[in-house]
Amino acid sequence: MNIIDYSVSGEEFSLIYDKYYQLYYTTPIPKNLEKYYQSNAYISHTDGKRGFFEKLYQWVKKYTLQRKMQLIEKYIPKGKLLDIGAGTGDFLRVAKGRGWKVMGIEPEVKARDRAGEKGIFLQNSQDRVEETFEVITLWHVLEHIPNLKEEIDFLKEHLNQEGLLIIAVPNYRSRDAQYYKEYWAAYDVPRHLWHFSKESIRLLFEEKGFELIEIKPMFFDAFYVSLLSEKYKSGKMNFFKGFYQGFCSNLSAICTGEYSSLIYLLKIKK
């Protein structure tokens, strides 16, 4: 399947299927991948509220931050938390406010600067991380990381034996992905290098010594992704169609479990 980078470059990339891991990977991977993040269109690295999509994104982000912490604290009430791909630091700011000792990794300079303005000072690389953590989170980050298995090794090395690992990624088996096909916004090539199914995550992490303990849906993603996908497909904004397809995707997932994005909770096998 060929996918166009609608949000930044307009370039075309291919998705190749890995039968064993039941995932797709993006090819070719640009040598200067960082330039595909250097755009105001990449809103997870901004706090922008210019148009409808940015306002919607920021509203949903604000609402879900406390929900994420509630999910974590159901398993581990307090401790040290590492957030990889911390963006502009909002999640860590909430965690810090709830009494957690926090550390974050964010390679993008402007995003780190915005986090610093909020009192959250992020590292530019995980190479200097030496300690272990009760919780490690990657909120829509794993799909961006080139060396996937090396990253999983890093996560295992830096997670406490009784700790909790949280991975949130898009799900290409969701109804909205099947409906929009090559226009599905969550393919987001070439920034998304990997495209996961539930089975992908289970296989990748089990072979590295993790066990999957729970999967939770991200309900809002279906609406946001469908709105953006509708824009890519038709060339114009159609709020009704986008919201309708998001609703249908969530409705379908009540039976199938295949939500637009999923949160995976993992622990190290004993």
Q: Beta strand pairing status for 194-195 and 23-27?
A: antiparallel
Q: What is the pLDDT of residue 258?
A: 98
Burial (CB count within 10 angstroms: exposed 0-12, middle 13-18, buried 19+), residue 19 = exposed
Q: What is the pLDDT of residue 79?
A: 97
Q: What is the pLDDT of residue 142?
A: 98
Q: What is the pLDDT of residue 47?
A: 58
Q: For residue 48, is pLDDT > 80?
A: no
Q: Give the confidence band of 53 by pLDDT, cuts at 50, 70, 90.
A: low
Q: What is the pLDDT of residue 128?
A: 87
pTM across the whole model: 0.92
Type of residue at 71 = L
Write down all domains in the chain, each with its CATH number in brackets.
2-218+262-268 (3.40.50.150)
Percentage of the chain exceeding pLDDT 70: 93
Q: Give the confidence band of 270 by pLDDT, cuts at 50, 70, 90.
A: confident
- Taking only the tens place, the pLDDT of each residue in 88-140 is 999 999 999 999 999 999 999 989 999 999 999 999 999 989 999 999 999 99
Structure tokens at 48: 């922008």
- Taking only the tens place, the pLDDT of each residue in 161-219 is 999 999 999 999 999 999 999 999 999 999 999 999 999 999 999 999 999 999 999 99
Asked whether the beta carbons of 219 and 259 are under 8 A apart, the reply is yes
Q: With helix as H, strand as E and coil as C, how does the chain read? A: CEEECCCCCCCEEEEEEECCCCEEEEECCCCCHHHHHCCCCCHHHCCCCCCHHHHHHHHHHHHHHHHHHHHHHHHCCCCEEEEECCCCCHHHHHHHHCCCEEEEECCCHHHHHHHHHCCCCCECCCCCCCCCEEEEEEECCHHHCCCHHHHHHHHHHHEEEEEEEEEEEECCCCHHHHHHHHHCHHHCCCCCCEECCHHHHHHHHHCCCEEEEEEEECHHHHHHHHHHHHHHHHCCCCHHHHHHHHHHHHHHHHHHCCCCEEEEEEEECC
The residues near 111 (Cβ < 8 Å, ≥ 6 apart) are: 44, 45, 46, 86, 87, 88, 89, 122
d(CA 250, CA 120): 34
- Taking only the tens place, the pLDDT of each residue in 70-82 is 999 999 999 999 9
User: Directed axis angle between helix 219-234 and helix 239-256, to 10°?
Assistant: 140
